[in-house]
Amino acid sequence: MSLLLEPITLRDLTLPNRAWLAPMCGYSADDGLPNDWHLVHLGARAAGGFGLVMTEATAVVPEGRISPQDTGIWNDEQTAGWKRIVDFVHARGARIGIQLAHAGRKASTFRPWAPEQGSVPVADGGWPTVGPSAHPYPGFATPAEMTAEQVADVPEHFAAAARRAREAGFDTVEVHAAHGYLLHQFLSPLANLRADGYGESAEARSRLVEETVGAVRSAWPDELPVLVRLSATDWLDGGLEVDDVASVAGRLGTLGADLVDVSTGGVAPAHITVGPGYQVPHARRVREVSGLPVSAVGLISEPVQAEQILVEGSADAVMIGREALRDPHWPLRAAHTLRDKIGTVPVDAGVGVQPQYSRAQWR
């Protein structure tokens, strides 16, 4: 039996395997509403055997979108749009999570393939941005420093989105506190220059993410897990380092976080030497220090590589990103390579892993 294809249980939620679809922005929504593109994209990966299918970064408020084409979950129409997708994924035998996000000073930007880059002008459908300080991400518009009242509203925005996510039927929520978005901006001394209770020390800088995770945990059913994505290092002098973030993760665990999705970087441009599994050592360190389960992500492409990450104790699950864009049936290929079978978790529809693809497994 391969560890990659064994189930894992977080609280009362059992996921059929440890090969999970990483959250990746599709920049294809209109007014935050998921559509047929999202149904087909996420549904195909569920049919392909991923145990957990994660949505892209989904904004908790309109001004929290990375781009005007990002998905959201701040109104009833979006909640209903997500429910259709959730139901389809469940009928494929997979579990589904939603990544809740606010982009802060990195909001209102052109999507990657647009001819323009940087911040979208208000006249062209953009909006003014906010952040912990009036300090811009290089090349983007300068954000307004958030008032104390605006900061205090953030946890409830995330909690309200979590309640909507449960209405839509999601199995888990992930608080996005990585990649240079709002909660990471508060955590990092490179973006947070405040002199109040949210920025005057490392403990103060972690206050907002702690309050947000606590609010989401209170709004989310006790029997279902809450995940948190953290950037384990800023890759820059004077920025966050892995032991700083691991300590934050440990405190989030006491507030009810059940797993840390460990990534790196994003708060400011940095030179990063990348290679297969280049972020895995950071996941291992967060796991060791915090005592929490973790997922690893970052150029994990081969089934044997993913299996070794789990066997050596560097992570409890792997997030597959770019490779899942190339191969929506990556877990089925992994089952063939590892000569194993993907397990099933009973679902209301009684379907389980898709019988149409059963011959893709190891036989």
Domain ranges of the chain: 8-360
CA distance 279 to 284: 9
Tokens of 66: 């990375």
Contacts of residue 323, defined as CB under 8 A and 6 or more positions apart, other chains included, come to 300, 301, 330
Angle subtended at Cα 83 by Cα 78 and Cα 86, rounded to the nearest 5 degrees: 125
- 3-class state of residue 59 by DSSP: strand
Q: Which is it for the CA torsion 342, 174, 246, 322, positive or negative?
A: positive
pLDDT tier at 348 (50, 70, 90 boundaries)?
A: very low
CA distance 316 to 94: 18
CA distance 318 to 298: 9
Give bridge partners of residue 319 from the DSSP assignment: 20
Whether the per-residue pLDDT at 173 is higher than 80: the answer is: yes
Give the DSSP letter of residue 207. H
Per-residue pLDDT tens over the stretch 68-94? 999 999 999 999 999 999 999 999 999
List C-alpha distances in Å: 299 to 22, 31, 273, 275. 11, 32, 12, 7
Q: Which of 27, 181, 278, 357 is catalytic?
A: 181
Contacts of residue 118, defined as CB under 8 A and 6 or more positions apart, other chains included, come to 109, 110, 139, 140, 141
In this prediction, residues 283-297 reach a mean pLDDT of 98
Q: Return the number of other C-beta atoms located less than 10 Å from residue 140's C-beta.
A: 17
Angle subtended at Cα 355 by Cα 353 and Cα 358, rounded to the nearest 5 degrees: 90
Whether the per-residue pLDDT at 352 is higher than 60: the answer is: no
Per-residue pLDDT tens over the stretch 250-267? 999 999 999 999 999 999
CA distance 23 to 302: 19
How many residues are recorded in the chain? 363
CA distance 232 to 228: 12
- 3-class state of residue 36 by DSSP: helix
CA distance 274 to 280: 11
- Plot region of 9 (φ>0 → left; ψ -120 to 50 → alpha; else → beta): beta
Please tell me the predicted confidence (pLDDT) of residue 35. Answer: 98
CA distance 155 to 305: 37
CA distance 266 to 323: 21
Annotated active-site residue 181? The verdict is yes
Q: What are the start-end ranges of the H helices in the chain? A: 36-47, 76-91, 148-168, 182-187, 202-205, 207-219, 242-254, 280-290, 303-311, 322-326, 330-337
Q: Kindly state which CATH superfamily the domain 8-360 is placed in.
A: Aldolase class I (3.20.20.70)
Range from 183-192, 228-237, 287-296, 345-354 carrying the lowest mean pLDDT: 345-354
CA distance 341 to 354: 12
Per-residue pLDDT tens over the stretch 90-148? 999 999 999 999 999 999 999 999 999 999 999 999 999 999 999 999 999 999 999 99
Q: What pTM was computed for the model? A: 0.96
First to last CA, the chain: 14
In this prediction, residues 29-43 reach a mean pLDDT of 98
Residue 222 identity (one-letter amino acid):
D
CA distance 335 to 5: 7
Q: Return the number of other C-beta atoms located less than 10 Å from residue 288's C-beta.
A: 12
